[in-house]
Every structure is written in structure tokens, then in C-alpha cells.
């Protein structure tokens, strides 16, 4: 495979460009950045820029890792990690639309889509197959689970559990059933995720303790449900919750 680099692109000393990459006009690839194979960087994107951190020492050896097949559109900014030896990470086959921003030390898994103008603050984690709608802002250290769909202009200040739909400000409005079906989840897995969702959110008590209790019980009979329940037992921020009964049909647990 060949590498295509436009004459006006800037590739700093120390950057690594994988086979089949396409670096277009005006793009900047910072030092200590590693691009996997077949990564496309559109005009004027900046990959590996310094963290937006007041006390950051520019001599700090940190970087960015971009997975195979990821597309980085116009004016995207991806900051390198703030700690020595660490990396801001983007997985494989991700699609970062124009003007989206990833702060330092973010970790974005495979097959994630960030729509136009999405803002990820530092240390944000995003699970695989998640879609973040245009203009959404995510607070630092927030975790977003796998197969989540976040509506445009949402404000994410708490952790968002896997397989869910989130809108407005930390409001869970149901499960991302269409996304689960597109991923090929079985009917049984989806039924059990629904049951676990209701059990966690609509049982009185501490949400983390409820999830931990059922993580080792009969409800966690599929790996998908175990990942859903385990998410609540981890992290340090609060967890986004429904403000009312979800808008999808969920079987009640007896």
C-alpha cells in the first residue's frame, strides 16, 4: 500500500504514518502520533496537538494513537496525553466528523462516530459502536458505554451506561434497541438487557449496590448483561438516570 501526503500537510519529526494513510491539505500530525493503516486525515485537522492544560510542559513525551481505518474530517482536533508516556487513543474504524474535539487522555473504542462539533473533555472514555450527536458536550472523566446513542446538543456530565439512549442533560430515555439489532444481538440478549435495565433503574435503593447484587445472580446470564451491570459498579462519577418511565416497552421484573 502507498501513503498519500499533500505537500501542504505538516508531519512533525517522530510521527508514524501507517500504510495506506491519506493526509490531506493543511493537516497537522504531531510528534509522537501513531496512525494505523488506512487512516484518512482531512484538511486542517490537527492530530497530536498539545493538551489544553494550563500547567502542561510541552517537553512531556506523550502522544496519540489512531486505529486502522479511522476517518478524521476537517478541523478535527485530537490533543495528546497530558502525562508522560501516555496516549490519547482512538480505536479502529471510527468516524470523527468536522470540528469535533477530543481532549487529552481520552480513550475512544472501535466503531465510534462523533458527529460535527462534538466536544470531549479530557479523560473521557467512549465505548465501541457508540454514536455521539452533533454539538454534544462531554464533561471530563465521564464514561460512555458501548452501543450508546447520545442526541445532538446533549450535555453529558455523568456516566452513560451501555446500550442506552441519552438526551438533554444526563437524561436516559430508554435503550438503543435499533443499535443492538444492527449489531446482531440475539432476541434473548435484548430481552435480558431490558430486564436488567428495569431492575437497575426502577428498584428502590442504591443503583451501584443493585447492579453489583445482580452481577453475580441469574439475571446476568449473558455477557451483554454482565457488561451492562458491571458498568454501574465502576467509575467515580454519578450515573445518568431516567427522569420518567422510558419511552420503550420494558417487561416488568417480578
Q: What's the pLDDT tens digit per position in 115-155?
A: 999 999 999 999 999 999 999 999 999 999 999 999 999 99
Query: What structural domains and CATH numbers belong to the chain?
Result: 4-141 (2.160.10.10)
User: Quick check: is 104 catalytic?
Assistant: yes
Active-site residue identified among 104, 123, 139, 214? 104
In this predicted model, what pLDDT tens digit does every residue of 204-238 receive, in sequence order? 999 999 999 999 888 888 999 999 999 999 988 99
Q: Average the pLDDT over 180-191 and give the result.
A: 95
- What local confidence, expressed as pLDDT, does residue 254 receive? 42
**Is residue 1's pLDDT more than 80?**
no
Contact 109, 147 (CB under 8 A): no
Find the catalytic residue in 22, 105, 111, 159: 105
Contacts of 138 (CB under 8 A, 6+ apart): 118, 119, 120, 121, 124, 132, 144, 156
Q: pLDDT by residue (tens digit) across 35-82?
A: 999 999 999 999 999 999 999 999 999 999 999 999 999 999 999 999
- Reported as a single tens digit per residue, the pLDDT across 103-116 is 999 999 999 999 99
Model confidence band, residue 28 (pLDDT cutoffs 50, 70, 90): very high
Which position among 63, 122, 127, 174 bears the catalytic label? 122
Please confirm, yes or no, whether 85 is among the known catalytic residues.
Answer: no
> Which strands sit side by side in the sheet containing 125-126, from one edge to the other?
16-17, 33-35, 63-66, 87-90, 107-108, 125-126, 143-144
pLDDT at 221: 87
Amino acid at each position: 500500500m502507498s501513503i498519500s501526503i499533500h505537500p501542504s500537510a505538516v508531519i512533525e519529526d517522530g510521527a508514524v504514518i501507517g500504510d495506506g494513510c491519506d493526509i490531506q491539505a493543511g493537516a497537522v500530525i504531531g510528534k509522537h502520533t501513531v496512525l494505523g493503516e488506512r487512516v484518512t486525515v482531512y484538511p486542517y485537522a490537527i492530530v497530536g496537538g498539545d493538551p489544553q492544560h494550563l500547567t502542561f510542559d510541552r517537553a512531556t513525551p506523550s502522544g496519540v494513537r489512531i486505529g486502522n481505518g479511522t476517518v478524521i474530517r476537517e478541523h478535527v482536533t485530537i490533543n495528546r496525553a497530558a502525562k508522560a508516556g501516555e496516549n490519547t487513543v482512538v480505536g479502529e474504524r471510527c468516524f470523527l466528523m468536522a470540528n469535533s474535539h477530543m481532549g487529552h487522555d481520552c480513550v475512544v473504542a472501535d466503531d465510534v462516530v462523533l458527529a460535527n462539533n462534538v466536544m470531549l473533555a479530557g479523560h473521557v472514555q467512549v465505548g465501541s459502536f457508540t454514536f455521539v450527536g452533533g454539538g454534544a458536550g462531554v464533561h471530563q472523566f465521564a464514561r460512555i458505554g458501548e452501543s450508546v446513542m447520545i442526541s445532538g446538543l446533549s450535555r453529558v456530565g455523568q456516566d452513560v451506561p451501555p446500550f442506552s439512549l441519552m438526551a438533554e442533560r444526563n437524561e436516559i430515555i430508554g435503550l438503543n434497541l435499533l443499535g443492538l439489532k444492527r449489531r446482531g444481538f440475539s432476541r434473548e440478549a435484548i430481552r435480558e438487557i431490558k430486564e436488567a435495565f428495569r431492575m437497575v433503574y426502577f428498584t428502590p435503593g442504591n443503583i451501584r449496590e443493585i447492579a453489583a447484587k445482580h452481577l453475580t445472580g441469574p439475571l446476568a446470564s449473558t455477557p451483554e448483561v454482565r457488561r451492562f451491570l458491571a458498568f454501574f459498579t465502576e467509575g467515580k462519577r454519578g450515573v445518568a438516570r431516567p427522569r420518567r418511565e422510558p419511552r420503550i416497552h420494558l417487561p416488568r421484573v417480578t
